[in-house]
Structure formats: C-alpha cells, structure tokens
Amino acid sequence: MSTVHRIESLKSKHAQIDQHLMAENARPMPDEAKLLSLKKKKLQIKDELHALGA
C-alpha cells in the first residue's frame, strides 16, 4: 500500500472513530470504557498520520 493510500485510509478511520465517539456521547449514559478505547484508537491513528507526514 502506498503512503498516500495509507494516509487516506487512516483519515477515513479517524473520521469513523469520531462518529462513534459522538454517537456514544449522545447516549444518556455513555460507556466510559468504550469512550476511552475509541479515544486511544483515535490518538494512535493521529500519531501514525503525523509520522507519515500527513
């Protein structure tokens, strides 16, 4: 997979996680463990994007 394709894939995953975070936060009683997990994944993707120079 080329770097450009990898960056686009990561950006897409980042956006999907953002949507999941918003949906979970919109619930009356958000699952804190799920929120923490999603935030960690989002940060890992952000770090990888930064390392790729995106």
Residue 8: which domain range? 3-52
Mean per-residue pLDDT of the chain: 95
The answer for residues whose C-beta is within 8 angstroms of residue 49's C-beta and 6 or more apart is: 7, 10, 11, 14
pLDDT score for 11: 97
**Structural domains counted in the chain:** 1
> Cβ distance 17 to 38 under 8 Å?
yes
pTM of the model: 0.85
Q: What is the pLDDT along the chain (54 residues), one digit of tens a residue?
A: 689 999 999 999 999 999 999 999 999 999 999 999 999 999 999 999 999 986
d(CA 42, CA 36): 10
d(CA 50, CA 1): 17
pLDDT score for 53: 86
pLDDT score for 49: 96
